[in-house]
Amino acid sequence: MALHHRLTSRLRFLRYRDEWSNRTQDKARPGTGEATPRHRSLPRLYRELYTLLEGQRSAVALALATLSIATLLRLVPPAATKLVIDYVLLAKPLPGSLPAWLPIPAAPKGRLLALVTGVFLVSVVSTACGLWGRWRATLASKRIQVKVRRQVFEHAVRLPLHRVYQLKSGGAASLLREDAGGVGELIFSMIYNPWRALVQLLGGLIVLCWVDWRLLLGAGALGPALYWTDRLWNRRLRPLFRDVRKQRQEIDAMAAEAFGGMRVVRAFGRQRRESARFVGENHFMSRQELFAWRWSRGVEILWDLLLPASSGLLLLYGGIRVLDGRLSLGDLMMFLVYLAMLLEPLAVLATSVTQLQNNLSGLDRVLDLMEEPREMVSNAGTWSIAKSSVAGRIQFDEVSFAYPNTETSVLRDINLEVEAGEVIALVGRSGAGKTTLCNLIARFYDPTAGVVRLDGTNLRDLKVESYRRLLGIVEQDVFLFDGTIGENIAYADRRATLAQVEHAARVANAAEFITRLPDGYDTLIGERGVRLSGGQRQRLAIARAVLADPRIFILDEATSNLDSESEHLIQQSLTTLMRGRTSFVIAHRLSTIRHADRILVMEGGAIAQVGSHAELMADSGLYRDMVLLQRLETTSS
């Protein structure tokens, strides 16, 4: 097995390009039989964006209204070109259709000054309207950005636990920062800018039609090019950008993982290897981006050739009409200006397609995540439970469990009744199912077969967040947030006072080392509590569980990182704290659970023995063998 062999970025890209080609041709993935992931059409994405705009639709509509006014006003100045040439420079007589009340100076210089003043005033009003509308659109985009990020975050933290683990911390941050954040920018790239282009295009077409209706035929020839370009963008370019964003997410996750495990990286001298791995992944992403660039530039080259060709043909037609005497020189000049204004929005849309498709791929990924089912979704039959009404009786009825996407059962046919206030210790070899059993009690997962009950009620009938407020959990792998000591303890109760935090710290035997710190409870502990020792982090976790005042305690090796003196003091505190509360204690040091009401010996995902310490020691079973082995190891040491 080649543990250290990795494909070069070039070989990985060649394989990726073949797989991408199959996907874009709606072929099944080779060797898997899986169908190609569907791509949402542009109308579908517009509908999804409209849904996300709830609460900001009126602001966006107002921005589009002012944009329309500003864009239409910008169509006025080019018309002055015809007026200046025909009725000022060439001194042609004014048309008789002009209203008599209109104050038009008779002198050419007066007419020129009036036209310049009018164009200036129109331009000022147009700029003011456009600026105000763009501000409203920008404000709406930022609000949508915050809203979508909040929705994605709230949905992501409620995904099934195994799916959260798949996202990884760095990958989730990338999804929230880039994909969710980019949705706000779609207000401009999908709505604002295309709307401005549409208004300008239609206005220019109307003017050209007024000059000569045959000019519409030249503009209509661009229709097939627009259709095929749209198909190319949707079927080929957007999947490319989705893959680039996915690769960027994986790179962010890799970097976060490397820095999170920096002690291990340095301990094994793997800095150069991690750097090479990081660079290799970036090389692969660069090849993806260059591949996308080639396709994008191909589209842009098409339009760079098509637009000048179209304008050249229209210019040829207009020039012939002038030479034939059917158009005036002013008409020709006005025609040329409006022709440029007609083609400008198409050129802008063609050159901005890369950014648009990049943002659309982000919206696609956000929608994919939002469509994933949440963990244990509440329905009309579920209800909240109050802490004061809970006794704490736990019951397992024929419970079996296998982790998602696996077929091997980790727990098999578990039957167990735990009375309220009873202390249950779980012991057994690694992988016996102790932590998994506690995961079902905490309802991090639901059993694949059987029922877990609280006070006779199926846990599936309770709202999961309401149920978890009954729990206090201290795990072997302590997680602390980057903040102060006081904030980490108070995480269990957002309404906790300083006095309550201090009391919880005293119970957990943490107050002693906290008061010795210069800033006390305001001491910053760094990410995951890196500025504290293992024993100090463990005591803060215990204090956090104490503050929660739970009805059900789960202690997974809660004293494993403590010295003997601290362990003795905390064991006394925990004994007092667990009185009257249903508690589950996982321990490898069997001396710490001698006074448990019952001890469950787990073996191979099943309960092998149940009884008190004395009862199990009197029986020549697995528990007695484990105790004697630990005594032997202690004596030898």
Report the alpha-carbon distance of residue 19 to residue 314 in Å, rounded: 44
What pLDDT score was predicted for residue 233?
A: 61
Query: Please, are residues 184 and 152 in contact by the beta-carbon 8 Å criterion?
Result: no
Would you state the structure tokens that stand for residue 467, as one six-digit string? 């149920």
Task: Please write down the long-range contacts of 437-444, taking CB distance under 8 Å and 24 or more positions apart.
Answer: 437/411, 437/584, 437/602, 438/554, 438/556, 438/584, 438/586, 440/396, 440/399, 440/401, 440/411, 441/394, 441/552, 441/554, 441/584, 442/468, 442/471, 442/473, 442/554, 443/376, 443/467, 443/468, 444/161
In one-letter notation, the amino acid at residue 607 is I
What pLDDT score was predicted for residue 28?
A: 41
Backbone angles phi, psi at 276, to 5 degrees: -65, -40
What pLDDT score was predicted for residue 34?
A: 37
- Residue 89 has a CB neighbour count (10 Å cut-off) of 13
CA 80 from centroid of its chain's CA atoms: 51
Q: How far apart are the first and last CA of the chain?
A: 38
What pLDDT score was predicted for residue 218?
A: 61
What pLDDT score was predicted for residue 271?
A: 78
What pLDDT score was predicted for residue 222?
A: 61
What pLDDT score was predicted for residue 449?
A: 92
At 385, the pLDDT band (50, 70, 90 cuts) reads: confident
Which tops the pLDDT comparison, 360 or 231? 360
What pLDDT score was predicted for residue 450?
A: 92
What pLDDT score was predicted for residue 228?
A: 65
Which region among 248-257, 339-348, 386-395, 474-483 has the lowest average model confidence (pLDDT)? Answer: 339-348
pLDDT digits (tens, 9 = 90+) for 242-255: 788 788 878 877 77
Mean pLDDT of the chain: 79
Sheet holding 457-458, edge to edge: 411-418, 394-401, 449-454, 457-458
Report the alpha-carbon distance of residue 304 to residue 307 in Å, rounded: 6
pLDDT digits (tens, 9 = 90+) for 116-129: 888 889 889 999 99
Name the pTM for this structure.
0.71
At 63, the pLDDT band (50, 70, 90 cuts) reads: very high
Query: Please, are residues 593 and 559 in contact by the beta-carbon 8 Å criterion?
Result: no
At 458, the pLDDT band (50, 70, 90 cuts) reads: very high
pLDDT digits (tens, 9 = 90+) for 297-349: 776 777 677 767 777 777 777 778 777 777 677 776 777 777 777 767 766 66
Which tops the pLDDT comparison, 26 or 594? 594
CATH class given for the domain over 394-635: alpha beta
Would you state the structure tokens that stand for residue 225, as one six-digit string? 């090019």
CA 111 from centroid of its chain's CA atoms: 60
Architecture field, domain 40-211+353-375: Up-down Bundle (1.20)
